[in-house]
Structure 1
Amino acid sequence: MPATPIDIARNLVLARFPRARAAWLGGSVALGTPTATSDLDITVLLAGPPAPYRESLRHESWPVELFVQSGESVTHFRVAERAARRPATARLIGQSHILLDADGSGERLRQECARELSEGPQRLSEKELRARRYGVTDLLDDLAGAQDANERLVVGAALWQATADLLLTANRHWIGGGKWLHRELAAFDQAGGTDFGRTLADGMRAVALGDVDPMTAVVLEVLSQVGGRLFEGFRADGPA
């Protein structure tokens, strides 16, 4: 039988990290949604140095992303990413196949991270919500006023991301970068019976063709759910 991606990932970990405490295979392969360019996202837990570090390599024809962590670095990244509402480390561990578990930390951390993901991020403060509303409003005005087609497309892309961020964070849902932001939108839609992932993508396609009306409509719909457009009266204090 040909080796599976899990077999390949496990053999790599055993060969390179014989004293690892735990290891997990996460990402698209673990979720069952790989593409032709997907890599093996492998997180390895060591007792100490040389962790933490990140390395990209190729192993048995697979591109591999290694995230080599210590217990302290896992905690550090989880705290920072939870504050940013982009739980990359929690996703890699909490939605994974365990490759190695020498001391029980593999299953323990996977359960902790899975629970963290299911609980969602902290609620936006009023200050954060106002800042996001203002940012989306500003981009929406830029889109309406754009005369150059290339400028309109760039603004449309920025507005797509800012609107998705606003919608998700205002509803205590995780965000992400690139494809992960779209995937979080899809999960939000599936859970709530909405269709924002499709309508925002359709809005971007229309912007590319010179029509800003579909994007404007969906952005205004999102803004209406969180207090509406915000320009006059917005204030952001600088650092002390």
Structure 2
Amino acid sequence: MKKTALLTAKSFLTQHFPDCDFAILAGSASRGEETPTSDLDIVIFDDKLDHYRESFLYDEWRIEAFIHQSNSYIKEFEREKEIGRPILGNMLIEGLLLKDHASYKLIVESAVKHVQSGPTPLTMNYINASRYFIGDLLDDFIDSKHNDEAIITLNSSL
């Protein structure tokens, strides 16, 4: 029988990252909304490791480990501001603490500020290019001769 997400995350952390500074279980599992096909998103801070992302299969769970250092998360926050999606910021704010460290609170406070500050404002060039792209797609969709062509046009907008 499959262990709970929380027990699995703690066991995984003990086995694979026992010396990490702190770790958080994020995503659907941290909210108790996991499904049978959910993975476990675990954010791990460890200044002894390089910043990377790795996938694991552990105790019948797929695990996505996001490894950060005390400075790599700042670079990720900058990238998130540019793309307008604060994924790491939200994981840090909403996640369940698996292992604590003195730096945890400061990093979460930084994540709150990051999320509250919002994305980098769009430039007029970007806005105008987007308007053109959307208008062009709508024209292509309206002018579609076949359902297949319309579906392909809709999918190209994603």
TM-score by length of 2: 0.87
The match for 1:94 is: 93
- 2:115 match: 117
Asked if 1:38 corresponds to 2:38, the answer is yes
2:155 to 154, 157, 182: 157
Structure 1 residue runs of 4 or more that deviate by more than 6 Å after TM superposition: none
Q: Which amino acid aligns with 1:96?
A: G
What does the per-residue CA deviation read over 1:73-99, in whole Å, with 9 as the maximum and x for residues that have no partner?
Answer: 211111112111122222222221111
**Runs of 5+ consecutive residues of structure 2 not aligned to the other structure:** none
Give the corresponding residue for 1:60: 59
Q: Name the CA distance, whole Å, in 2 between partners of 1:117 and 1:31.
A: 19
Structure 1 gaps of 5+ residues are 162-240
Which structure is higher in strand share?
2
Q: Provide, for residues 96-146 of structure 1, a one-character-per-residue CA deviation record: whole Å limited to 9, x for no partner.
A: 1111112x2223222321332233223222222112111111111111111
Query: Which letter maps to 1:123?
Result: P
1:126 — aligned with what?
124
- In the TM superposition, residue 3 of structure 1 has moved relative to its aligned partner by 5.0
Q: How does 1:1-240 map to 2 (within 5 A)?
A: 4-49=4-49, 51-102=50-101, 104-159=102-157, 161=158
Ranked by relative contact order (alpha carbons within 8 Å, sequence separation 6 or more), the top structure is 2
Give the number of the structure whose residues are more often helix, by fraction: 1
Task: Say whether the 8 Å CA contact 2:80–2:119 is kept in structure 1.
Answer: no
Residue identity in the other structure for 2:72:
S
Following superposition, the deviation at residue 150 of structure 1 comes to 1.9
**% identical equivalent positions:** 27
